[in-house]
A = this chain, B = another copy of it.
Amino acid sequence: MVDETDQPDLEDDRDDDAYELDEDAVDRIIEAVEAGNQTRLQEELEPLHAADIADLLEQISRSERRDLILLYDRDFDGEILSELDDSLREEVIGILHPEVLADAVRELETDDVVDLVEDLEDEQQEAILGALEDSDRVAVESSLTYPEYSAGRLMQREVVMAPEHWNVGEAIDYLRDQDDLPEQFYHITLVDVRMRPVGDVTLGKLMASRREILLTTIVEDSFHVIPVNQDEEDVAYAFNQYHLISAPVVDEDERLVGVITIDDAMAVLDEEHEEDIMRLAGVGENSLSDKVIETAKGRFPWLAVNLVTAILASMVISMFDQEIAQLVALAVLMPIVASMGGNAGTQSLTVAVRAIATKDLTGRNVWRVIRREVLVGLINGVIFAIVMGLVGIFWFGGPELGYVIGAAMVINLVVAGLAGTVIPVLLERVGVDPALASGAFVTTVTDIVGFFAFLGLAAVVLL
């Protein structure tokens, strides 16, 4: 009934390791696997949540994973597959005996099956669809007709609804009579005669209201209808922005076709954030379970782009090779200007990318934000110019080099603020994800401007 191991360890209260897998337990599990002791393995895994077992599988080695799955055998739960990282699913499905896989999949809700099969190769997809009961398979296949990453893929098809003219008593009697209510539901959706959703009533309100009260008088203030083709990123945004718990999904004719609940929206929000962080760092799709070759492939494109931009910056430097030969201190100091510009540009672009994602940076305030970023670059540029001027005096014995590096610093930090805001905004306008591409453009600009400003000023002023 109640899972004893889920009781929190109160000693651990503010410990960062809360919810981390217990190392001793993992050791015991691996020992059981190595000893081929199925009973002990089952005992150790029994109290764990499927999500934790999936995490465990992600953390152990490939051969341990294989042995564990084969030994665990029929106890392998469909939910573990659901919780598993995409990169490991094909491997694990390949290890499972066909009957175990079939049993595991049959336990899942249809929306979890959709999530499971959508990224699999045809052969594995067919194996799983074939294992389902007919009605479930039809439901899954019909969900797969909606675009990837759309509300249609995310929704559950079982909706608890009531005609808009009912009162509380009628709704309660109806619910009490139903045999096949969904496992999880929190609202009753009111629909008009054309099956268009007009409001949600929470079960709590239903419980708290007298039988003769009309349902339409106790609907939620925050009612939001999601179009079935809407991008799941926007769905997650709507849940977060309007504090929705569940929302009806409608087709092109505004008829109710499903419902999305907040736990699915939260999972999407988490994935979207992960994607943003990874894209900002130029990592692409990546997980800790990826193999070496896949990881190297995933990292390659961004490094290749960076190589091109670094060569462009080097070409700027080579324009000044005579000046550098005359005054080697220029070569020593030039990376400082470029590096400061790169960092300031990354700061501005991260703020801009995030603000675009949260829909806070719009046509209305874009000029105000650009002005602010430029002013911030100017202020910090002047401060660091003074610092570097002083460093120049002490390091190279004279103020002239300090003036030059200071002036170049101011120019580059102003440009960084400008480029760091304008570039993501422009990329978004032309339909490119600013998280993915802004970094390369912005650091190219700050490298080139940094080297050119410093070396060019030096050429004019010093030589």
Contact = CB atoms under 8 A, between A and B. Distances in A.
A346 interface: yes
A428 B379 CA distance: 33
- Chain A interface, >50% SS class: helix
A375 interface: yes
A9 B60 CA distance: 48
Contacts of A280: 277, 280-281, 350
B6 A360 contact: no
B346 A332 contact: no
Contacts of A441: none
A11 to B, nearest CB: 10
A302 B347 contact: yes
A225 B6 contact: yes
Contacts of A322: 328
Given A203-B204, A303-B340, A343-B282, A23 B362 contact: yes
A10 to B, nearest CB: 5
A42 interface: no
Contacts of A267: 240
Given A186-B245, A347-B299, A49 B359 contact: no
A349 B277 CA distance: 11
Q: Give the copy number.
A: 2
A332 B321 contact: yes
B10 A227 contact: yes
A344 interface: yes
A302 B329 CA distance: 25
Given A207-B176, A274-B354, A384-B303, A263 B237 contact: no
A363 B49 CA distance: 21
A186 B384 CA distance: 55
A335 B313 contact: yes
A393 to B, nearest CB: 14
A455 to B, nearest CB: 10
A254 B224 CA distance: 38
A336 B178 CA distance: 69
A336 B316 CA distance: 12
Contacts of A222: 3, 6, 49
Given A332-B321, A335-B310, A14 B281 contact: no
A213 interface: no
A303 B372 contact: no
A18 B307 contact: no
A14 to B, nearest CB: 6
Interface in A23-65: 23, 26, 49, 51-52, 55, 58-61
Contacts of A204: 160, 181-186, 203
8 contacts: A14-B231, A183-B204, A185-B204, A266-B266, A269-B270, A281-B351, A299-B347, A303-B347
Q: What are the 7 tightest A-B residue pairs by CB atom distance, in nearest-first order?
A: A281-B350, A331-B331, A203-B203, A273-B273, A310-B336, A181-B208, A310-B339
